[in-house]
Chain A
Amino acid sequence: MENNRGLKHGRIYRHALARVLKIRVLLFLCMAPFALWSQPGFEERLSFDQIQMILSEGIAQRDVGKQALGWYKWAIYREQETLNRDSAFQYLARSVDLFLIAGDTTAYYRARAELATRLPERGMAEEALQMQQEALDYFRKTQNKRLETLVLAQMARVYQLKGDTAQASVLKKAFRDKGLMLQDTFLLITVFLDDISRLQIEQNYRDAISLAFRVLELAQQSRRPDVATFAEYQIGILNRQAGDHYMALRFLKRAERSVSAAYDPLRRDIYRYLSATYSALDSLPKALEYATRHIELGDTLLSRDRIATSQRLAVQYGEKERSRQLAELAKEMAAVELSKRQQRDFFYAILLFFGAIILALFFMVRDYRHRLATNRVITEQNEKINQQTIRQLEDALRIESMQSILEGQESERKRIANDLHDSLGGLLAATKMRLENLSGKLPVLGQNEEFGKIQGLLNDTITETRQIARNLQPGSLHQFGLMKAVRDLIVRFRGDGVPTIDFQHFGEFNGIDHTIALNCYRIVQELLQNSIKHAQATEILVQLTRTENELALLVEDNGIGYDPQTVSRGMGTDNLSQRVQFIHGEISIQTSPGQGASTMITVPLA
């Protein structure tokens, strides 16, 4: 997480820098040759105290540049001491930020390039290269050949880490050429030392040692005994880490001899490692001796540290006081901010509360209205269903009652017809026969006019009785089916003044339900009577059509017609429509005054 923060800073300032640079570029262009060629402090190896001092002073003097340098050195120092590159990364990121605030663009880019070298191991090689490229561009623009070369070296390393060895070697060559050209051995040494610490972390001691030799060589050439000593010390501890204690001992001894200042912290480190090496070689007296020296020197250094620390504390106290005031101020501001925020939160809470209430009300009202509407719809539907049920019940009741009426009617008719046929008919026939017998025995009677009239009246009575009986009960319907019964019916209408009746039938009429057949018969009978009695027709067409699932009756006349809208034909049509309804048929009447009448009845057959 902290890594990300460091990187984020890098990114943010990279953008901010674009603005800052535009203003300051000219200034630095003039200053660069003097101020930045020798980058004070960057190349020296500073002790812990020295770095602490720089930081303390930087804070006390509010010298951001010094603070930045302090953090930079602290990062490098910590990294070499602890081999922990993570914390180094964070300190470098802080240093970069501070350099930017200080307006030290060259230092900013240098520190940033340094930071970039630690990005590839975090999987951000591209970002690293971009940052370094920016630094490179800047150094080229400011003609800072040294730092340009340094960045080239760093880029070469990043390419190497990225696995792009071709580009790495190209850059390495460029760097070496430039370095040689610059004759700046220190630059090379810096780069090599950096490489060594990296190789040390990677536990590649062989390459690290050879590089350290290279540094030693360069230090001797450039007459930097302090660097030479450090190189010897490095060779020593690298060999120790590689397990070659004899070589370690040899070079640590050389370092001990060449180290200059009596109280150099390096000397203490040398003593410490000499002790450790002797111990590893089982030379315990020597080990003890150096351990003692290490402790003694440590104490001395510690006392020195104490002085420095007390000084630092004094400085830090003032700093602390100020920071306390600042903290108090910040606290007050925070309190104000808090109360403001509380007010705001309260306001929001109220707003939210009322919003929720309004919303709840809205939904309640909507739900209520919806429920009302639903209830209304349900009530309406129920009412409709009820009405429909009532209607259906009424219909069923009416049909049922009509059925019983019609059935009762029919059975009554049948009874009367049978009585007329059998009892009355029989009696009349018997009477007639007896009369005839009598006239045969008494020829006088045969010549009597009155007796002849009585016989004629009796004959008329018999015919009339038969006619009434037949009209009451169409015997042929049950026996021979609808078509023959209708034909018999039509044949019966004959005589003077009776219209011509045409009868046509299509289809099979046997097997039709008796109730339907009987009602159809009655319907035709009714229609025929209407046409003959009321319509004064001279031509009538009766037509029966049976299709697969339908029976159609048609009675058409050329009579006077009527207006079906206004003329009620009394019992006749009423009875007719009831019969049609009873057998679930449909009636269609087409007539108008003077145009005859055409009545069609269709009956569905199950």
Chain B
Amino acid sequence: MFAEGLESMLKGESDFEVCGRARNAADTLQQVLEMHPDVLLLDINLPDKSGLDVCKQLRAESPDVKILALSMHNDESYISAMLSLGAQGYVLKNTGRVELCAAIRALAEGRTYFSQEVTDTMMQSLMRERKGGTPKEPPKISRREREVLKLIMDERTTQEIAAQLFLSEKTVESHRAALLAKLGARNTAGLVKAAIQWKIIED
């Protein structure tokens, strides 16, 4: 139904020719190899196979075809995955006719295309994520971790820390493990060193 709607929509464009319509992954692969289209509009949610796998396979067997991912998922994980697997564009299924045609034309000319919503998602994702232990920026330490770290620097044992913060020893150990990972330390001495370096504890 969706594909039919799409086909009728694209037929209105004079410079487009719809050379085929596939219902599943196997059909898609076969038709691409037979027809050699310029652009493939690939739905990520296929009934028999993930669009991700089809994309990957096409890249290997038919490297010339441009792939425009069509998806309901406006998620960074899907966008990144499709890009890394060789898709040149990513648009959401609710994209309007004008934008969709622009995207197809961009791909046919060898450019990439992302719809506005997709670009927003990517930006958000890059902004939100902080990579632990990057040398220029100190990692964000939670309040509880800060308390634990303070007590570790006071040479308290796990039992003492657990008793003082009303936590279980196991939880204290988990905080400690998280701190070690965050600060890229291997032991307590490393923790203390990193804490001083990043000026995390300032009393």
**Which A positions have Cβ atoms within 8 angstroms of B?**
421-422, 425-434, 436-437, 440-441, 459, 462-463, 466, 469-470, 475-476, 479-480, 484-485, 487-488, 490-492, 494, 501-507, 541, 543, 545, 547, 550, 552, 554, 556, 586, 588, 590, 596, 598, 600, 602
Contact = CB atoms under 8 A, between A and B. Distances in A.
B125 interface: yes
B12 A437 contact: yes
Contacts of B5: 429-431, 433-434
Contact of A484 (B77, B166, B177, B181): B77
Contacts of A501: 128
B5 to A, nearest CB: 4
Given A421-B45, A479-B77, A503-B129, A543 B142 contact: yes
Contact of A476 (B2, B8, B77, B130): B77
A contacts with B: majority SS? helix
Contacts of B129: 487, 503
Interface stretch (B60-68, B91-99, B195-203): B91-99
A480 B6 CA distance: 29
A155 to B, nearest CB: 89
Nearest to B132: A506
B182 A600 contact: no
B94 A466 contact: yes
A545 B81 contact: no
Contacts, number: 146
B89 to A, nearest CB: 17
A430 B128 contact: no
Contacts of B81: 479-480
7 contacts: A441-B12, A470-B73, A476-B78, A488-B75, A506-B181, A541-B140, A602-B170
Given A432-B94, A476-B78, A602-B171, 10 more contacts: A426-B2, A430-B2, A434-B8, A436-B96, A491-B76, A491-B124, A504-B139, A505-B132, A586-B171, A600-B175
B140 to A, nearest CB: 5
B4 interface: yes
Interface in B181-200: 181-182
A429 B178 contact: no
Given A476-B73, A504-B132, A505-B132, A494 B168 contact: no
Contacts of A436: 9, 96-97
A479 B140 contact: no
Contact of B76 (A437, A488, A545): A488
Contacts of B125: 487-488, 491
B68 to A, nearest CB: 15
A462 B8 CA distance: 20
A590 B142 CA distance: 12
B50 interface: yes
Contacts of A487: 76-77, 125, 128-129
Contacts of B9: 433, 436-437
A586 B165 CA distance: 16
Nearest to A551: B174
Contact of B174 (A425, A480, A600): A600
A485 B130 contact: no
Given A550-B174, A600-B171, A433 B8 contact: yes
A595 to B, nearest CB: 9
Contacts of A480: 77-78, 81
